[in-house]
């Protein structure tokens, strides 16, 4: 599925829920970061995933801090990338798929991510800022 079809299917709810895994989450962020600045990509990613959760879940799975942090991590690696497509990007930086939690916990203590406020409000990293 090309990037435009991927985003369109995701945004309109026709993307199969069984295929929305971690890699798809990272891909969505990567596509938005190719089209928009970081702040807009964060907003669009959050809105799209919240909507997807409401359409295909019970609306309680969305986690604001994790989603914003994921976009920020993808943005960090994207700035270092020469990739022209998502597959090349992941080949360059496989840790985004294989070791994402390790990357995340370089920035956040587990208590911050587990804080109930983190689900609904973006909490800044307590260990290492993104910028």
- Is there a domain that residue 11 lies in? yes
Locus of tokens 């020469």: 82
- Is there a domain that residue 130 lies in? no
- If you average pLDDT over residues 52-77, what whole number do you get? 94
Residue 31: name the closest of 76, 85, 90, 82 by CA.
85
- Is there a domain that residue 127 lies in? no
Which residues constitute the domain of residue 25?
3-120
Q: How many domains does the chain have?
A: 1
- Is there a domain that residue 131 lies in? no
- If you average pLDDT over residues 96-124, what whole number do you get? 96
The pLDDT tens digits of the residues spanning 11-55 come to 999 999 999 999 999 999 999 999 999 999 999 999 999 999 999
- Is there a domain that residue 111 lies in? yes
Report pLDDT for 57: 85
CA quadruple 60, 36, 73, 130: dihedral sign: negative
Supply 120's token pair: 């609904």
CA distances (Å), 102 to each of 29, 33, 52, 91, 98, in order? 18, 22, 26, 18, 9
- Is there a domain that residue 126 lies in? no
In terms of phi and psi (left: phi > 0; alpha: psi -120 to 50; beta: otherwise), the region of 81 is beta
Task: List the beta strands (DSSP E) in 10-109.
Answer: none
Task: List the beta strands (DSSP E) in the chain.
Answer: none
- Is there a domain that residue 71 lies in? yes
- Is there a domain that residue 125 lies in? no
Report pLDDT for 46: 97
């Amino acid at each position: 599925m090309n990037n435009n079809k991927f985003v369109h299917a995701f945004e309109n709810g026709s993307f199969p829920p069984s295929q929305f895994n971690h890699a798809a989450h990272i891909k969505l962020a990567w596509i938005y970061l190719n089209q928009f600045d970081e702040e807009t990509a964060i907003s669009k990613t959050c809105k799209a995933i919240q909507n997807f959760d409401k359409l295909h879940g019970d609306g309680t799975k969305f986690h604001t801090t994790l989603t914003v942090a994921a976009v920020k991590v993808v943005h960090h690696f994207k700035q270092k990338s020469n990739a022209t497509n998502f597959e090349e990007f992941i080949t360059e930086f496989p840790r985004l798929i294989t070791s994402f939690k390790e990357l995340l916990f370089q920035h956040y203590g587990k208590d911050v991510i587990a804080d109930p406020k983190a689900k609904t409000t973006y909490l800044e990293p307590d260990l290492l800022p993104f910028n």
